[in-house]
Structure 1
Amino acid sequence: MSLYIKNVLVQAKNCYRRLIDMNKSTYGKLQMCGTEEEMREIAGRICRNYLHGAWKSVDPADLDFKRISGGLSNFLYYVALPSDVTKLEGFAHESSPELDDHKKPILSSHSIYMEEPKKVLLRIYGQVHGERAMDAIVTESVIFTLLSERRLGPKLHGVFSGGRIEEYIPARSLLTKELAEPAISMKIAEKMAAIHSMDVPLSKEPNWLWKTMAKWMKTARDERLAPDSVGKNEEEQNIIKQLKPIDFEKEIEWLKKFVSSVESPVVFCHNDLQEGNILLLEDEIPPSEDDDFVQYDSKNSKYVLPQFDDQNTSDSLTSHISDTGEPRLVLIDFEYCAYNHRGFDIANHFQEWAYDYKNPEHPFYYEFQENLPTLEQKEIFIKEYLKHYHTNLSENKNQVHDPSIDEINQLLCEVEAFTLATHLLWCLWSIVNASKSQIPFGYWEFALCRLEHYMRLKQEIVKKDKFGFPQKRKICEVDI
């Protein structure tokens, strides 16, 4: 099985290269953002080639077409069939008496209601050159397909040179404060358990964390924190002076040794499950020219779907609840996905409760440490996670697993240990992006913030180990 999958991945890479070489002119226009007419024509041609039914005959001029993203990683376009079926080329009612059978068009009045999607999301890759870029595209496409098959992500309608056609999902990204909503938090735990129980054709060795840290550390040391590096202003210069003395290589080695003593199962992880990567499904409302259909997520260099005003959040939430009374969530953006320790994925999600990336002014994020999950909130999340994780792996899907107190305490310990790793990882990420990215974000401030939390937690752990101080209380038999 593994050899077969490897061959498929190799063939997929070669296929992508051939497709891109064969269609450079078409793909290039979309990637370079031509006029709206050019993009509409190309989008119509792609949809006509890869979709069926009404898409085969519709005039691109009649498509509902809108660019909904312009980030550095991808370009996204909303493409929909016209609501007026008479605008479809060759339209004629199937019972029209004036036409002979052999002269009637293939398209009938009811064909638009057949299985073809009425609206799609057209994704154009922003970077397809280089071996690493190609590997990333293939890996991400394989994962996207697996998630689609398991109904954990949007449906995949087609893969073409330089991009793919996805199911369009009317949704918005969560607000940071919504992560603490009990119903939403428990649903996120369920979704995370589903991701963690997947068997994905990637390396099962948990080395993503350390390889990524090592790569970013080298860039930080050789470029961003080089002896001659300077900040754009006095504040940046002051932060750089505080960061330069840090021996990040030594910190990574200490951290690697520390977490190795913690037994945390290796699973397929998202590794960046923050609110911007969790969509709450909305009603079927297409994007409007008058609406701010997308908002910029400065931390992740991408555009995201709009969010409700704070005062309307609780009232609006009720319209996004399923028939079972649960919020309908979809996880997106598996850019950093890899096999990793489950403790990291959960710890990283918990830390995101404290960061809100909607600040319109520098440093373009808010930090509210008081919003970090309480022990009780962690326990509820972990219990829900373990319940679904064990059920997913069980042959009897109807049998509900009730996690023991020891299981919950064990995972709490894993989360506590890997919280250190989350701070150091995103500290290095922020240093690497500082001065390099054109995105308005306080990278230097964010790097120093995460480093300070890392150092504080490290000192607490060293003290406990040295003086035998008691660990944080463990839960006992309580009703959670």
Structure 2
Amino acid sequence: MDEPKKVLLRIYGQVHGERAMDAIVTESVIFTLLSERRLGPKLHGVFSGGRIEEYIPARSLLTKELSEPALSMKIAEKMAAIHSMDVPLSKEPNWLWKTMGKWMKTVKEERLSPSYNVKNDEERRIIKQLKSVDFDKEVEWLKKFLATVDSPVVFCHNDMQEGNILLLEDEIQSASDDEYTFDDSKKSQYVLTQYDDTNTSDSIHSHISDSGEPKLVLIDFEYCAYNYRGFDIANHFQEWSYDYTNPESPFYYENQENCPTLEQKEIFIKEYLKHYLSNHSEDKDVEPSIDDINQLLSEVDAFALASHLFWCLWSIVNASKSQIPFGYWEYALSRLETYLRLKQEVVKKDKYGFPQKRKICEVDI
């Protein structure tokens, strides 16, 4: 057997606490299953502080490429494949609420506590705005609200943003045209080729297979768990509005006008359902009904709120903790403001049975 010329060396880093170790064990089980099923890279070896994986050259997508029709439809297909997996993990949909609950504890006891050491006036301003919101009540309201939404529980990626979707280089496409899905644990910079807007050979068209479809690889299964399908799709759609390539503070661009249109959502959802239904049927040409599409659209609209509140809490927790240069406080406020705006729209529309004329702060929880 020929030894690989290139490999990816994954170092776990410091592990603190039983929960952190449990997360590594769970992630390793998922990676091994993906490898055995040829849905991920080969596992070359393991050691006490990490593992050795197959190296697959590729580049991450750009935010603007998420709306490219061919890429969007391929992402929908990949998501359907993940959602069709049967993984030996708890299938109870408690990951979302357990994770938010854990982050809430840190938010209250550390980041938004009076003892937190504020670094500058801008940070003080943002923290003051964040403190004006009762996060306990918001999470309680959201949980009650989403309980009225019928969304199937499936194995989800839970973080399908452009940085976690790679476009493979031509030379790695195997003769059998195998597809890869693998875990990169937010270390994609070690396996990506440099993207250059001026390099025409690195365009989307240079990553198209003989079948005319883009060759994509999904990475980063750090947040992988059984969850509501509405969350996974809604979360992906929200990422159309956030570009994390800004070289200056706050190190991201936000443009809510880039959110997918209704037509773009419908195209994505139809493609997703087509593949998901065919994965669970002997009929490989099954077409989703209008009712199926509309049902999933409703799920996505509802779970968009969960996506914003989830990443708001994540950002608050990582503020001052993470060594990565990023405007965590600004990002937290942005996601919170969008959450509150969408929540107000939901209440006004009376779409899910809430009173129309009462103020948002008066909604029963």
Normalising by structure 1, report the TM-score: 0.68
State which of 152, 155, 161 in structure 1 corresponds to 2:39: 152
Q: CA RMSD of the aligned region, Å? A: 2.0
Could you say which residue in structure 2 is the equivalent of 1:91?
none
Could you say which residue in structure 1 is the equivalent of 2:189?
303
Could you say which residue in structure 1 is the equivalent of 2:335?
450
Work out whether residues 10 and 52 of structure 2, in 8 Å CA contact, stay in contact via their aligned partners in 1.
yes
Distance 1:301 1:171 in 2: 13
Q: Secondary structure at the match of 1:262?
A: coil
Task: Give the number of equivalent residue pairs.
Answer: 340
Point out the structure with max Rg over C-alpha.
1
Work out whether residues 423 and 454 of structure 1, in 8 Å CA contact, stay in contact via their aligned partners in 2.
yes
Could you say which residue in structure 2 is the equivalent of 1:251?
138
Distance 1:133 1:259 in 2: 28
State which of 370, 387, 392 in structure 1 corresponds to 2:257: 370
- For the pair 1:238 / 2:120, whether they are aligned, the reply is no
Q: Secondary structure at the match of 1:303?
A: helix
Distance 2:147 2:347 in 1: 15
Could you say which residue in structure 2 is the equivalent of 1:350?
237
Q: Match for 1:202: what amino acid?
A: L
Could you say which residue in structure 1 is the equivalent of 2:362?
none
- For the pair 1:177 / 2:64, whether they are aligned, the reply is yes
Work out whether residues 195 and 202 of structure 2, in 8 Å CA contact, stay in contact via their aligned partners in 1.
no
Work out whether residues 391 and 399 of structure 1, in 8 Å CA contact, stay in contact via their aligned partners in 2.
yes
Distance 2:120 2:223 in 1: 32
Work out whether residues 266 and 293 of structure 2, in 8 Å CA contact, stay in contact via their aligned partners in 1.
yes
Work out whether residues 119 and 168 of structure 1, in 8 Å CA contact, stay in contact via their aligned partners in 2.
yes
- For the pair 1:467 / 2:353, whether they are aligned, the reply is no
Distance 1:314 1:243 in 2: 45
Distance 1:402 1:303 in 2: 38
Distance 1:235 1:129 in 2: 32
Distance 1:129 1:467 in 2: 47
Q: Match for 2:337: what amino acid?
A: E
Distance 1:128 1:452 in 2: 34
Q: What stretches of structure 1 of length at least 5 have no aligned partner? A: 1-52, 54-111, 286-299, 469-480
- For the pair 1:117 / 2:15, whether they are aligned, the reply is no
Q: Match for 2:189: what amino acid?
A: Y
Q: Secondary structure at the match of 1:373?
A: coil
Work out whether residues 90 and 226 of structure 2, in 8 Å CA contact, stay in contact via their aligned partners in 1.
yes
Query: How is 1:128-167 mapped onto 2 (pairs within 5 angstroms)?
Result: 128-167=15-54
Q: Match for 2:284: what amino acid?
A: Q
Could you say which residue in structure 2 is the equivalent of 1:3?
none
Normalising by structure 2, report the TM-score: 0.88
What's the CA shift for 1:227?
Answer: 2.2
Could you say which residue in structure 2 is the equivalent of 1:188?
75
CA change 1:363–1:212 in 2 (3 A) is same
Work out whether residues 301 and 439 of structure 1, in 8 Å CA contact, stay in contact via their aligned partners in 2.
no
Distance 2:83 2:200 in 1: 30
Work out whether residues 249 and 327 of structure 2, in 8 Å CA contact, stay in contact via their aligned partners in 1.
yes
Distance 2:105 2:337 in 1: 20
Q: What stretches of structure 2 of length at least 5 have no aligned partner? A: 173-185, 358-365
Q: Secondary structure at the match of 2:189?
A: strand
Work out whether residues 154 and 166 of structure 1, in 8 Å CA contact, stay in contact via their aligned partners in 2.
yes
Could you say which residue in structure 1 is the equivalent of 2:177?
none
Could you say which residue in structure 2 is the equivalent of 1:63?
none
Could you say which residue in structure 1 is the equivalent of 2:304?
419
Q: Secondary structure at the match of 1:387?
A: helix
Q: Match for 2:140: what amino acid?
A: E
Could you say which residue in structure 2 is the equivalent of 1:39?
none
Distance 1:255 1:389 in 2: 27
Distance 1:311 1:326 in 2: 23
TM-superposition CA deviations, 1:115-138 (whole Å, max 9, x none): x43432222221345322321122
- For the pair 1:332 / 2:219, whether they are aligned, the reply is yes
Could you say which residue in structure 2 is the equivalent of 1:404?
289
TM-superposition CA deviations, 1:17-51 (whole Å, max 9, x none): xxxxxxxxxxxxxxxxxxxxxxxxxxxxxxxxxxx
What's the CA shift for 1:314?
Answer: 8.7
TM-superposition CA deviations, 1:239-283 (whole Å, max 9, x none): 011111211010000000001100000000010000111111014
Distance 1:387 1:127 in 2: 43
Q: Secondary structure at the match of 1:235?
A: helix
Could you say which residue in structure 2 is the equivalent of 1:292?
none
- For the pair 1:276 / 2:160, whether they are aligned, the reply is no
Could you say which residue in structure 1 is the equivalent of 2:325?
440
What's the CA shift for 1:317?
Answer: 1.6
Q: Match for 2:258: what amino acid?
A: N
Q: Match for 1:452: what amino acid?
A: E
Work out whether residues 203 and 339 of structure 1, in 8 Å CA contact, stay in contact via their aligned partners in 2.
yes
CA change 1:313–1:235 in 2 (3 A) is farther
* Higher RCO (CA < 8 A, seq sep 6+): 2
Q: Match for 1:328: what amino acid?
A: K
Distance 2:111 2:201 in 1: 43
What's the CA shift for 1:159?
Answer: 2.4
What's the CA shift for 1:365?
Answer: 0.2
CA change 1:351–1:311 in 2 (3 A) is farther
Out of 405-414 and 367-376, give the one that drifted further: 367-376
Give the % identical residues.
81
Could you say which residue in structure 1 is the equivalent of 2:207?
320
Out of 245-254 and 433-442, give the one that drifted further: 433-442
Out of 304-313 and 243-252, give the one that drifted further: 304-313
Distance 1:128 1:230 in 2: 25
Q: Match for 2:195: what amino acid?
A: F
CA change 1:351–1:314 in 2 (3 A) is farther
What's the CA shift for 1:302?
Answer: 6.8
Work out whether residues 170 and 209 of structure 2, in 8 Å CA contact, stay in contact via their aligned partners in 1.
no
Distance 2:141 2:356 in 1: 19
